[in-house]
């Protein structure tokens, strides 16, 4: 979440907006911080930034930039 390149040239999503996202979708923010979250859960939100984050993480796992 902190390393994903964003549309404004900065790197990473901010915690305050991420917390808002989690609340809006009924997701457990503290659980995420402690244990992570399943990629499919993020994809199921249909949120473009969540989808982008999952795609970015998957690309990093496969050695792509």
pLDDT in tens, 31-49: 999 999 999 999 999 999 8
2-16 confidence digits (pLDDT tens) = 788 887 778 888 889
Please report the pLDDT score of residue 22 as a whole number: 95
Please report the pLDDT score of residue 65 as a whole number: 55
Tokens 């923010």 correspond to what residue? 29
Quick check: 22 and 29 in contact, CB under 8 A? Answer: yes
Angstrom distance (rounded) from CA 58 to CA 34: 20
pTM: 0.81
């Amino acid at each position: 979440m902190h390393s994903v390149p964003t549309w404004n040239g900065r790197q990473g999503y901010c915690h305050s907006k991420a917390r808002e996202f989690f609340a809006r979708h009924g997701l457990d923010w503290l659980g995420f911080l402690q244990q992570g979250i399943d990629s499919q859960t993020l994809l199921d939100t249909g949120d473009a930034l969540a989808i982008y984050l999952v795609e970015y993480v998957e690309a990093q796992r496969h050695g792509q930039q």
